[in-house]
Amino acid sequence: MTDANPVLPDDTSSGARPSGATRSRDGEATRATILTAARAAFADKGYAQTSLREIGRNAGVKPSLIVYFYGSKAGLLAATVEWPFDPDTVVRQVLAEGPDRIGECLADVFLETWKPGGRPDAALPLLHAACERPEAAALMRELFTSCVINPIVRAIAADRADLRASLVASYLLGLHVGRHLLVFDAIAGADDNVLRHALASTVQHICTGPLW
């Protein structure tokens, strides 16, 4: 059983405890090492086939330290692609609203993620990268389907869950490609509330409606 709250080790070999600045630098270096190992593992083996134990071994740290920094494997994946929300939190929040509000909740999350002029702008470079590099596309695909959409669809016991999750991810990503990369004027200039309603109704049908 992993310890979810490990304490970062202090270098006490000199008899003095390191300063807060030193511990901060050590923590930042450890995070960078973990992220490098995680990116390589996810790109090589995919999300499902990669374990925290393997990433920890490659990074030279215990899996419990990865959990301490990132919460879960899904949180680690989000960090590797600099995604501006925590997947586990989104899944819990969406499911807490009930099956009939999945479309609305996901529309809110993903419109806010790409909200112009705010912190979520970090998602846009990833979208560009996914269109240019296969490894970035694979990470984005894993994040959308394996970490966010698939757990939600499976939790409501929908049939053909993998297909539904892929359709939802494709639809959400497609809107943002059209709005921010291809820049269709009608979509780029549309009011957020209009887009929210359009997204919500379609995503809701894909998640809970019949697939012909």
DSSP per position, 58-121: HHTS-HHHHHHHHSSHHHHHHHHTT-SS-HHHHHHHHHHT-GGGHHHHHHHHHHHHT-TTSGGG
CB 94 within 8 A of CB 102: yes
Segments of the chain assigned to CATH 1.10.357: 87-208
Region 193-207 average pLDDT: 94
CATH superfamily membership of 20-72: Homeodomain-like (1.10.10.60)
pTM exceeding 0.85: no
Looking at the predicted structure, is the pLDDT value of residue 6 above 50?
A: no
Region 182-188 average pLDDT: 90
Q: Could you name the CATH architecture of 87-208? A: Orthogonal Bundle (1.10)
Chain centroid, CA 97 distance in Å:
20
Alpha-carbon gap, residue 91 to 89, rounded angstroms: 5
Q: Tens of pLDDT along 44-60?
A: 887 878 899 999 999 99
Task: Classify residue 71 as left (phi > 0), alpha (psi -120 to 50) or beta.
Answer: left
Name which residue leads in pLDDT, 41 or 118.
41
Q: What value, to the nearest 5°, has the Cα angle with vertex 131 and ends 39 and 41? A: 15
At what angle are helices 87-96 and 102-113 packed, to 10 degrees?
150
Region 119-124 average pLDDT: 53
Q: Tens of pLDDT along 60-110?
A: 999 999 999 999 988 888 888 777 778 889 999 999 999 999 999 999 988
Q: Tens of pLDDT along 146-184?
A: 889 999 999 998 899 999 999 999 998 888 888 888 889
What pLDDT, on a 0 to 100 scale, did the predictor assign at position 123? Answer: 62
What are the residues whose beta carbons fall under 8 Å from the beta carbon of 7, sequence distance 6 or more?
Answer: none
What are the residues whose beta carbons fall under 8 Å from the beta carbon of 104, sequence distance 6 or more?
Answer: 97, 196, 200, 204
Residue 98 CB neighbours (<10 A) = 10
Q: Distance between terminal CA atoms of the chain?
A: 44
Alpha-carbon gap, residue 106 to 196, rounded angstroms: 9
What pLDDT, on a 0 to 100 scale, did the predictor assign at position 5? Answer: 40
Segments of the chain assigned to CATH 1.10.10.60: 20-72
- Among 5-9, 21-25, 84-88, 102-106, name the most confident range: 102-106
